[in-house]
Amino acid sequence: VMRRNPFGMDICCRKGSRSPLQELYNPTQVSLSNTAILHQVRRDQVTDTCRANSVSSRKRRVLTPSDLKHLVVDEDHEMIYCYVPKVACTNWKRVMMVLTGRGKYSDPMEIPANEAHVSSNLKTLNQYSIPEINHRLKNYMKFLFVREPFERLVSAYRNKFTQKYNTSFHKRYGTKIVRRQRKNATQEALRKGDDVKFEEFVAYLIDPHTQREEPFNEHWQTVYSLCHPCHIHYDLIGKYETLEEDSNYILQLAGVGSYLKFPTYAKSTRTTDEMTTEFFQNISSEHQTQLYEVYKLDFLMFNYSVPSYLKLE
């Protein structure tokens, strides 16, 4: 079956050609094989961490469909992408819309950001039957992107609590955080929840009450809990720090690298390591230690060292 692609060249639907999974584990191009070694090291790191922490990681042996709502499926290219908020997930969703749109979209950056987050625009793994889920987990190439956990956390805080337009977050989480963490809060702060301090946000995250009450919001939930890397074997672990190379490598494996490139644009507002350091200056060593415990598996699993600015107890 040939289908016209929006870039004016014919690409053959994957039938008969090699799948991304085959290309990853038995590369035909030398350029792909060098990168394959790097990804093998990243996979091994995850496996070793899961094994070393099996007590905590195997509590829930069976995944339920609701655990799979972050896994976006691309049938045409036999790929599954687990999206992690604050790790280039808007751009990856845009790319997935180009890949699965059958010619409806051609340029990822022409897709408005809010449209990329409309759930009906992408199909997720929890929408399939159990046999279909198992078949795809076994035969499709699965990938996710990770980021230094505390940098991701500060990025989420800045986006959700310091931007005036995020009123739904202020109402849902801000008011709760202010009520619980701020002594003598004003009536206005309790009503609006739009001036949450980073220290209050951290105190809310490590509060045992928060953990019992409901799962973390996806923007600050651990990658470990969003994508279940101890239960799902990811073939590729991309990193925010090497976003462009890792993303284009995946597109190459999918056989679309010649006409589809991962969108790059340097955001001047991007959360950096220096910025993260600054945010942590006012956090007590006790709270830093407790917060590190919450995100510890993400640090270990994806090979991020303990940040030098932390004063752990």
Residue 25 lies inside a defined structural domain of this protein: no
Could you tell me which of 90, 136, 98 has the C-alpha nearest to residue 115?
90
Q: How far apart are CA 146 and CA 150, in angstroms?
A: 11
Q: Are residues 247 and 121 in the same domain?
A: yes
Q: How far apart are CA 256 and CA 252, in angstroms?
A: 6
- The residue segments making up the domain with residue 44 are 31-148+220-254
Predicted pLDDT at 129: 95
Predicted pLDDT at 10: 37
Predicted pLDDT at 56: 55
Q: Is 247 left (phi over 0), alpha (psi -120 to 50) or beta?
A: alpha
Reduced to 3 states (helix: H, G, I; strand: E, B; else coil), residue 225 is helix
Residue 263 lies inside a defined structural domain of this protein: no
Note the Cα 90 to chain centre separation in Å: 10
- How many residues are present in the chain? 313
The number of distinct structural domains making up the chain is 2
Pairing of β 236-239 and β 141-146: parallel
Annotate 88-118 with three-state secondary structure.
Answer: CHHHHHHHHHHHHCCCCCCCHHHCCHHHHCC
Q: Are residues 161 and 290 in the same domain?
A: yes
Cβ atoms of residues 138 and 80 within 8 Å? no
Predicted pLDDT at 135: 96
Predicted pLDDT at 35: 85
Residue 21 lies inside a defined structural domain of this protein: no
Residue 87 lies inside a defined structural domain of this protein: yes
* Token pair belonging to 100: 């699965």
Distances (CA, A) of 260 to 57, 85, 118, 181, 273: 37, 22, 22, 47, 30
Cβ atoms of residues 146 and 298 within 8 Å? yes
Residue 105 lies inside a defined structural domain of this protein: yes
Q: Are residues 116 and 189 in the same domain?
A: no
Residue 311 lies inside a defined structural domain of this protein: no
Q: Are residues 110 and 208 in the same domain?
A: no
Q: Are residues 122 and 183 in the same domain?
A: no
Question: Where are the strands (E) in 193-269, listed by range?
Answer: 236-239
Residue 207 lies inside a defined structural domain of this protein: yes
Q: How far apart are CA 206 and CA 293, in angstroms?
A: 9
Q: Are residues 107 and 244 in the same domain?
A: yes
Residue 3 burial (CB < 10 Å; 0-12/13-18/19+)? exposed
DSSP state, 266?
Answer: -
Q: Are residues 96 and 167 in the same domain?
A: no
**DSSP-assigned letters across all residues of 7-67:** TSSEEE-STTSPPHHHHHHS-SSHHHHHHHHHHHHHHHHHHHHHHHTHHHHTSS-SPPGGG
Q: Are residues 89 and 211 in the same domain?
A: no
Predicted pLDDT at 13: 47
Residue 191 lies inside a defined structural domain of this protein: yes
Q: Cα dihedral sign for 75, 76, 80, 85?
A: negative
Q: Are residues 208 and 61 in the same domain?
A: no
Residues of the chain short of pLDDT 50, as ranges, are: 1-15, 57
Predicted pLDDT at 61: 62
Q: How far apart are CA 209 and CA 106, in angstroms?
A: 46
Q: Are residues 230 and 84 in the same domain?
A: yes
Q: Is 269 left (phi over 0), alpha (psi -120 to 50) or beta?
A: alpha
Q: Are residues 47 and 79 in the same domain?
A: yes
pTM confidence score: 0.91
Q: Are residues 77 and 195 in the same domain?
A: no
Q: How many CB atoms lie within 10 A of CB 114?
A: 8
Cβ atoms of residues 298 and 150 within 8 Å? no
Question: Phi, psi (5° rounding) for residue 79?
Answer: -130, 150
